[in-house]
Amino acid sequence: MLIITKGLPGSGKTTWATAYVLALAGGSAARVNRDSLRQMLHAGRLKGRKTESVVVLIQLEMVETLLAQKLTEIVDDTNLNPSTEARLRELATRLGAPVTVEDFTGVPVEECITRDLKREHSVGARVIRRMHRQYLAQPVRYNPNPLLPPCGHLRH
Ligand SMILES: Nc1ncnc2c1ncn2[C@@H]1O[C@H](COP(=O)(O)OP(=O)(O)O)[C@@H](O)[C@H]1O
Ligand SMILES: [Mg+2]
């Protein structure tokens, strides 16, 4: 089984994934995370297009190997970008592994920022707010005439 976590930095994905791995005795679950791979491969320093494409390739190889061994595999990245999720789902489907999403998107953005600030390698409020706007905030509906309700509310 592949478990994909989804949520802002600081929402608790890695904490949950680590607890899950610890709870399943005998190494039957494993966690793969691109931040950890970046840290391991390039001391967390390099984040260019070239290094990132290698990180993604290595992650997919690891996921494939773990799923082929019938382990429960948790990818505890943010996975908010739909193309990231699609890539993982495609791989799991090819290997015949079921997919579930562990959803952390309900953790309020301010709480994520507070938790993030307390940890050693902070992502920072700016990045978290940008991701929130990009993937989680409700789209603001344009109302050409503020005296009237937005179009969706008009009755015909
Ligand atoms: N449920 C929770 N309640 C309070 N703090 C939490 C919770 N889950 C995680 N944290 C704390 O928040 C910080 C970020 O957690 P982490 O699991 O690394 O988030 P993520 O992997 O989503 O970026 C850590 O310091 C962690 O101890
Ligand atoms: Mg994490």
- 2-29: per-residue pLDDT in tens? 999 999 999 999 999 999 999 987 789 9
d(CA 130, CA 42): 25
Mean pLDDT across 45-69: 90
Task: Give the percent of the chain with pLDDT over 70.
Answer: 92
Let me know if domain 2-107 sits in CATH 3.40.50.300: yes
CA 90–ligand 2 middle distance (angstroms): 22
| Contact yes or no for 76/4 (Cβ under 8 A) | no
**pLDDT grade, residue 153 (50/70/90)?**
low
- Asked if pLDDT for residue 33 goes beyond 80, the answer is yes
Probe target for ligand 1 pocket from 15, 35, 118, with the most ligand atoms within 8 Å of CB: 15
Probe target for ligand 1 pocket from 115, 135, 136, with the most ligand atoms within 8 Å of CB: 115
CA 147–ligand 2 middle distance (angstroms): 45
Contacts 24+ apart (CB under 8 A), 36-40: none
Residue-level pLDDT at 51: 84
Protein residues whose CB sits closer than 6 Å to any atom of ligand 1: 7, 9-15, 115, 118-119
Atom number, ligand 1, closest to the C-alpha of residue 5: 22
CA 105–ligand 2 middle distance (angstroms): 13
pLDDT digits (tens, 9 = 90+) for 87-145: 999 999 999 999 999 999 999 999 999 999 999 889 999 999 999 999 999 766 677 77
Domain boundaries, the chain: 2-107
Mean pLDDT across 32-60: 88
Q: Residue 138: which of 148, 152, 126, 124 has the closest Cα?
A: 152
d(CA 8, CA 25): 28
Reduced to 3 states, what is the DSSP secondary structure of residue 79? coil
- Asked if pLDDT for residue 80 goes beyond 70, the answer is yes
CA distances 128 to 39, 47, 122, Å, are: 20, 17, 10
| Closest listed ligand to the CA of 39 | 2
Q: Output the six-digit token pair for 4.
A: 């994909």
d(CA 80, CA 40): 23
